[in-house]
């Protein structure tokens, strides 16, 4: 006699078996579950190793790049500040006039295109 419940079918256990079939099936299912758990454990360890690698090599390298870029920007800002402190105040006026000129050129190019 075969029974169905929620799409799963199962066979009733032979009463004359003495439980050996159930015991063998439990052993098989236990070994399959053990294999799946070992695979998940291995996968989790691999994820941990990958995260450690990326943290040590890639993120630290990125941090070093940002530090170098910050130093470059600080040097550039110091040069600009040194120019503004000098007696040549016309440089700022020239920079302002050049910016306005570029703005108008871009405005006309975009407007009449």
Over its length of 113 residues, how does the chain's per-residue pLDDT go in tens digits?
455 656 666 666 555 555 688 889 999 999 999 999 999 999 999 999 999 988 888 888 888 888 888 888 888 888 888 877 766 667 778 889 999 999 999 999 998 87
Q: How far apart are CA 87 and CA 91, in angstroms?
A: 10
pLDDT at 32: 94
Note down the domain range covering 41: 16-111
- Tally of domains in the chain: 1
How confident is the model at residue 92, as a pLDDT? 77
- 2's CB contacts (< 8 A; 6+ apart) are 9, 10, 11
Transcribe 15-34 into DSSP letters. TTSTTHHHHHHHHHHHHHHH
Is residue 99, in this structure, part of any structural domain at all?
Answer: yes
DSSP label at residue 59: I
pLDDT score at 55 = 84
Asked whether residue 11 is domain-assigned, the answer is: no
- Does the pTM exceed 0.95? no
Is 63 part of a structural domain of the chain? yes
pLDDT of 87: 65
Q: What is the per-residue pLDDT for 88?
A: 64
Q: Within a domain: residue 7?
A: no
Ranges of beta strands (E only) in 2-108 are 3-5, 8-10
């Amino acid at each position: 006699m075969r029974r169905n419940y929620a799409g799963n079918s199962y066979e009733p256990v032979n009463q004359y078996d003495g439980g050996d079939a159930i015991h063998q099936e439990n052993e098989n299912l236990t070994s399959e579950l053990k294999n799946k758990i070992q695979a998940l454990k291995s996968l989790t360890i691999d994820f941990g190793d990958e995260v450690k690698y990326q943290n040590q090599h890639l993120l630290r390298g990125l941090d070093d790049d940002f530090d170098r870029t910050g130093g470059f920007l600080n040097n550039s800002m110091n040069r600009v500040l040194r120019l503004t402190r000098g007696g040549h105040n016309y440089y700022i006026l020239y920079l302002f006039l050049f910016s306005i000129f570029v703005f108008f050129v871009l405005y006309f190019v975009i407007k009449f295109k």
